[in-house]
Amino acid sequence: MSSRDRILGRVRRALADLRQDDTPPGPERPGRYPQYEQAVSRDYLQQHGERDAEQTVDLLAENLVDYRAVVHRCGAGALPGLIAHLLGERGSQSVLVPPGLDEGWLADTDVKRVADLPDSTPRELDRVDSVVTGCALAVAETGTIVLDGSPDQGRRRITLIPDHHICVVRVPGQVVSSVPQALERLVPGRPLTWISGPSATSDIELDRVEGVHGPRTLEVVLVSG
């Protein structure tokens, strides 16, 4: 008997007493082992505690800061000026712009625009100083921004290579309390990127290094109105 057979045998024995689900997986999710298919319980909490919209946004801001993101708040009319200020403060000479980004967001800055092109190389993207995007939504309880490749967010790689990412979140409409609530609104077939703070990692001695596999600086703008 091979190691594979022994492992699969243990799995079969462990699953032998599970209640079988009479509902077939269906064409959209064919089951490889229908004898082990069973319904998944969804009776877990959808969120922890009761919060109104303002409290949910406050929790998001708190957790974003805890993950070392830089959080800004403004009204819709002040957004172009704030983005121009952030790019100027950074000293950015170029900014990567997704094809569907609202042109008004960059109306107050003359920083060179770089288009999100399919044939851009990693080296070319690495030369860009900043990138500005929208988002699909944000999760308050985990301080997470979710991108789904929509036109105002562009390809996944444009938010992984440039060192400075400015992400705009419309509040309260794009803010949910929890991950289960986020999953109800997201489209599984889209290229989802979940971001909790700037890119960081630690070695065996727990020395934190930022900017290893993504932006070293994440600035989140919470825009109301």
pLDDT given at position 15 = 78
What is the CATH architecture of 53-224? Answer: 3-Layer(aba) Sandwich (3.40)
Domain with CATH 3.40.50.10420 in the chain: 53-224
State how far the Cα of 120 lies from the Cα of 183, in Å rounded to an integer.
31
One-letter amino acid of 148: D
pLDDT given at position 49 = 84
Per-residue confidence of the chain (225 residues) as pLDDT tens digits? 789 999 999 988 887 766 555 454 555 555 555 554 555 666 777 778 889 999 999 999 999 999 999 999 999 999 999 999 999 999 999 999 999 999 999 999 999 999 999 999 999 999 999 999 999 999 999 999 999 999 999 999 999 999 999 999 999 999 999 999 999 999 988 999 999 877 667 767 777 666 666 789 999 999 998
> Whole-model pTM?
0.78
pLDDT given at position 44 = 72
pLDDT given at position 24 = 47
Backbone angles phi and psi of 70, in degrees to 5? -100, 125
Instruction: Write the CB contacts of 69 (distance below 8 Å, at least 6 apart in sequence).
Output: 143, 197, 198, 218, 219, 220
pLDDT given at position 215 = 86
pLDDT given at position 161 = 92
User: For the residues of the chain, what is the DSSP string, one character each?
Assistant: --HHHHHHHHHHHHHTTSPPPSS---TTS--SSGGG--PPP--S-SSSS---HHHHHHHHHHHHHHTT-EEEEEEGGGHHHHHHHHHHHHT-SEEEE-TTS-GGGGTT--PEEEE--TT--HHHHHT--EEEE--SEEETTTTEEEE---TTT--GGGGTSSSEEEEEEEETTTEESSHHHHHHHS-TTS--EEE-SS-EEE-TT--EEESSSS-SEEEEEEEE-
